[in-house]
Chain A
Amino acid sequence: MNGTDVRTAEQATAASPSPTTVAFADLASRRRTESLAGLVLLGAAALAAIPALAIVGLLIVRGAPALSLEFLFGMPLHGMTAGGIFPAIVGTLWLVGVSLAFAVPVGVLAGIYLSEYAGEGRVARIVDLAIVNLAAVPSIVHALFGLGAFVLFMRLGTSILAGGLTLGVMTLPVIITSTKAALQSVPHSFRLASWNLGVSRWQTIRHIVLPNALPGILTGIILQVSRAAGETAPILFTGAAFYLPILPDDVRMQSMALSMHVYALVTQIPDVPLEMKYGSALVLVGTVVLLNSFATVLRYYLRRNRKW
């Protein structure tokens, strides 16, 4: 059988020598194309990576001199052209806190539903599609929704509560998808073992599946915090104030927010020292990037330490 194959190959070569010759003649140019393509693609990857590093680097270089205790923990002065950004930081914490209080329970329970109860049926598909669509709704449309639903319809007024809820709805898909993924990564045999001991569905989830998925869920929550802290458009008309140099102590108040502050300093107020603009942007980017790095590291260790 082997012999036949070889003979056929020889016959083929003898009958039409041209393909082999052509291929060999082409080889040099094919290799050139190969290395050129490699270089071009490397260039594309570099183009995708360099801006991130350049921007973060530039923000650090130009913004770091502004960072000081007075800047981080001081009140803004002279119509925000001097002083610190403390109320903006505290306001962002409030807004993110409200969004967490809403999105974590709803999102985690929804993730449990999708992973443990929904199965593969039609309902599950519709829910999946709804999540994808919810994640893709533009932030300014969320702002309109927040204004219509929370500020006006539910009569919450322009407040931390309304702004935080808007952020919560917006970041819900982040938590749902990460919870679902974390739960689904727990092996099915764990559930089977538990069910076979006569443990009910919910008890199995509560005592077997959730504890094993907890770090993954946590990663999703950190990403939600990072996302909510950086958003500006959804809080423009629902909860954030441009200039309100007091610390909020109630969710019915308005508050400043870090993202809004960066927007205001760049576009609305003249004569802000360059250093302050870069400093505010650096604090925002620093917070978001640190949170994301933390989530990335957590995920990395999770994968490495997984025993199953």
Chain B
Amino acid sequence: MSAVPTPRRKQRRVASAASRYTEKAIEALIYLCGLSAIAFIVAIFVFIGREGLGFLVTHLVEMLTSTDWSPTQDPPVFGIVALLAGTFWCVGLSLVFSVPVGLGAAVFLSEFAPPRLREGLKVIVELLAAIPSVVWGFVGVMIINPGLQAMGARIGLNGLNGAILLALMTLPLLVSLGEDALRAVPETYRQAAIAMGATRWEMVWRVLLPAARRGLLVAVLLGVGRCVGETMAVLMATGHSINIPKGPFDPVRTITATIAAELGETVRGDAHYQALFALGVLLFLITMAVNFVADFALRGRRTR
């Protein structure tokens, strides 16, 4: 039995001695590409940090205390309070809509929907996820904004418009991550609850939601991360006016929109250019933080 394969293997080895170097080369390449994701994350930070980190450090106080963003004035003022307010105003408003709807839909898909309806709804939600952000901006300008004005909003684009778009854009993420979190709850939990005489809703409310709490929280967190970084839709649909919003119908400007709108007009290396890269560093750090917190929360659940 063992006598037969051994000589063959030896033969093979001799025959492929030359190709073993090719194999080593290929495996080296695989290793290299495998680490490319790390390399790119580092490269992104290095390239935006090179232009923006110094500015961020030296101007941090000015940026975080002034509401005035006038980069082309003389002297320029780089206050980002209004931009931060615009960003989190839109994100916050969108969450008011997207969290209940998204997690509700996730519960429905995972616990209530019959299999066929479930598959159908999932296809549609995937479709929603595939729509490019520039098309959402288009929808905001061409469809939602006229609708809002018909309902009595001031003429012009506003923060609510952007918030509605962000909500629609994050729904697929909330639905699919929320459903994953619910499905990760062991079947025995459901059986135990039903055996105790709970109705389906009581099982969801008293057993599943508490058990899936961390996963659902992570879904919301990642949704926030996505919203904060969203660019085209808020650039096109929020009205592009730098102020601290006092109501949903005020026009606002976000951090992302500011970079997208102004980078084309700057000269490489001047303060304005560096300020926009500093905003990029800030965005990068915010999304990294969101991801690490989410990862930490998920890992905590696994080891528990």
Residues of A within 8 A of B (CB): 23, 30-31, 33-34, 37-38, 40-45, 47-49, 51-53, 55-56, 58, 105-107, 109-110, 112-114, 116-118, 126-127, 129-134, 136-145, 147-149, 152-153, 169, 172-173, 176, 197-198, 200-203, 226, 229-233, 236-237, 259-260, 262-263, 266-267, 277-278, 281, 284-285, 288-289, 292-293, 296
Choice from B34, B132, B175 contacting A110 with Cβ under 8 Å = B34
Q: Specify which chain B residues have a CB less than 8 angstroms from the CB of A129 in the assembled complex.
A: 291, 295
Q: Which of B249-277 contact A (CB under 8 A)?
A: 256, 259-260, 263-264, 268, 276-277
Question: Is B30 interfacial (CB 8 A cutoff)?
Answer: yes
Bound-state CA distance A231–B130 (Å) is 11
Query: With A and B bound together, what is the CA distance between A173 and B236 in angstroms?
Result: 27
With A40-B104, A127-B34: A153-B47 Cβ-Cβ less than 8 Å: yes
Given A140-B283, A152-B268, A267-B141, answer yes or no on A106-B33 (Cβ-Cβ < 8 Å): yes
Tell me which of B27, B50, B277 has the highest count of chain A C-beta atoms within 10 A of its own C-beta: B27
Instruction: Assess whether A45 is in contact with B105, with CB atoms less than 8 Å apart.
Output: yes
Cross-chain contact B105 with A138 (CB below 8 angstroms): no
Tell me how far the C-beta of A173 lies from the nearest C-beta in chain B, rounded to whole angstroms: 7
Q: Closest CB of chain B to A300's CB: distance in Å? A: 9
B194 at interface by CB-CB < 8 Å: no
Contacts of B222 in A (CB 8 A): 136
Contacting pair B101 A44 (CB below 8 A) = yes
Report how far A233 CA is from B261 CA in the complex, Å. Answer: 10
A149–B230 alpha-carbon span in the complex (Å): 22
Given contacts A118-B34, A226-B130, contact A136 B232 (CB under 8 A): no
Instruction: Please give the distance in Å from B8's CB to the nearest CB on chain A.
Output: 7
A53 to chain B, nearest CB (A): 7
B264 to A30, Cβ gap below 8 A? no
Q: 21 A–B contact pairs at CB < 8 A? A: A31-B199, A34-B201, A41-B105, A45-B104, A48-B171, A49-B105, A51-B171, A56-B127, A133-B41, A134-B37, A137-B229, A140-B231, A140-B260, A144-B259, A148-B47, A153-B47, A278-B142, A285-B131, A285-B132, A285-B135, A292-B126
Nearest 10 CB-CB pairings of A with B: A138-B229, A113-B34, A230-B132, A44-B104, A109-B33, A41-B108, A148-B47, A52-B128, A37-B201, A48-B105
Q: Which residues of B contact A233 (CB under 8 A)?
A: 133, 231-232, 256, 260
In the assembled complex, the CB of B4 is this many whole angstroms from the nearest CB of chain A, namely 11
B295 x A132 contact (CB < 8 A):
yes
B113 to chain A: closest CB distance in Å? Answer: 7
**Counting CB contacts under 8 A, is B112 at the interface?**
yes
11 A-B pairs besides A145-B44, A145-B48 with CB distance below 8 A are A34-B200, A37-B200, A137-B44, A139-B231, A144-B259, A169-B40, A172-B40, A198-B9, A266-B141, A284-B132, A293-B127
Chain A residue with minimal CB distance to B140?
A266
Distance of A37 Cα from B168 Cα, bound (Å): 22
Chain B residues near A (Cβ < 8 Å): 5, 8-9, 12, 20, 23, 26-27, 29-38, 40-41, 43-44, 47-48, 50-51, 100-105, 107-109, 112-113, 121, 123-128, 130-135, 137-139, 141-143, 168, 171-172, 175, 197, 199-202, 204-205, 222, 225-226, 228-232, 236, 256, 259-260, 263-264, 268, 276-277, 280, 283-284, 287-288, 290-291, 295
- With known contacts A138-B283, A173-B37, A259–B134 Cβ distance under 8 A: yes
Q: Contact at A262–B280, with CB atoms within 8 Å?
A: no
Docked complex Cα distance between A302 and B269 (Å): 52
List B contacts of A56 (CB < 8 A): 127
Q: Give Cα A169–Cα B42 distance, bound, in whole angstroms.
A: 12
Give A271 to B65 CA distance when docked, in angstroms: 41
Q: B125 touches which one: A52, A112, A176 (CB < 8 A)?
A: A52
Q: How far is the CB of B171 from chain A (nearest CB, A)?
A: 5
| Bound Cα distance A289, B276 (Å) | 33
B42 to A, closest residue via Cβ = A130
B113 nearest in chain A by CB position: A45
| Given contacts A30-B202, A285-B135, A110 and B105 within 8 Å (CB-CB) | no
User: When the two chains form their complex, are residues A144 and B37 in contact, meaning their CB atoms are under 8 A apart?
Assistant: no
| Residues of chain B lying within 8 A (CB to CB) of residue A105 | 33
B130–A292 touching, CB < 8 Å: yes
Across the interface, B204 reaches (CB within 8 A) one of A31, A37, A118, namely: A37
* Smallest CB separation, B134 vs chain A (Å): 4
Q: Is the CB of A176 within 8 A of B236?
A: no
Known: A48-B128, A106-B36. A133 touches B291 (CB 8 A): yes
Measured CB to CB, the closest approach of chain B to A117, in angstroms, equals 6
Task: Choose among B131, B137, B232, B263 the residue that contacts A288 (Cβ–Cβ < 8 A).
Answer: B131
